[in-house]
Amino acid sequence: MPGLEDLYREIILDHYRSPRNRGELPPPAVRTEGHNPLCGDEIQVYLSVDSGLVSDVKISGQGCSISQSSASMMSAAVKGKPIAEVRSIVRRFKSMMTLEEEETAEADDQNVKLGDLEALQGVVKFPVRIKCATLAWNTLLQGLDEATA
């Protein structure tokens, strides 16, 4: 019987080998980029917002398996969702990725299902990799702020 850690490793490798929503979007889609110099990870997030929804999202960039699979999972988790729900998912994910108790999570966030994203929770045991896992999410937040400014 494979353990939970093996299952999580499989999910991460699957997203690394077959990244979802890979590519670019033309303007007026918002483009933001993030770097994690500690590991050499680079992520570009292309974001289209329409009628209060994240109508499309594309990811490009390169880096380690954690950074790229996290970006792929993020794109699948937020595409087609209302902006408020996307912000909720981001808060839940970032609170999963911190060792301290976060006071920033709001009550509604508890209802958000992270699904495959839970595969990344083991990363929190390796603090140097947390920045790899959260890079795409911080880049997405920048894009959301720009798109909704």
With contacts defined by CB under 5 A, name the span among 59-67, 101-109, 112-120, 139-147 that binds Zn ion: 59-67
Q: Is 64 in the site for Zn ion (CB under 5 A)?
A: yes
Q: Is 41 in the site for Zn ion (CB under 5 A)?
A: yes
Helix segments in the chain, DSSP class H: 4-17, 65-78, 83-96, 127-147
Q: Is 78 in the site for Zn ion (CB under 5 A)?
A: no
Compare residues 35 and 81 and give the one whose CB is closer to Zn ion.
35
Q: Is 32 in the site for Zn ion (CB under 5 A)?
A: no
Burial string for 5-37 (b: 16+ CB within 10 Å, else e) reads eeebeebbebbbeebbbeeebeeebbbbebebe
**Footprint on this chain of Zn ion (rule: CB under 5 A):** 39, 41, 64, 67, 132
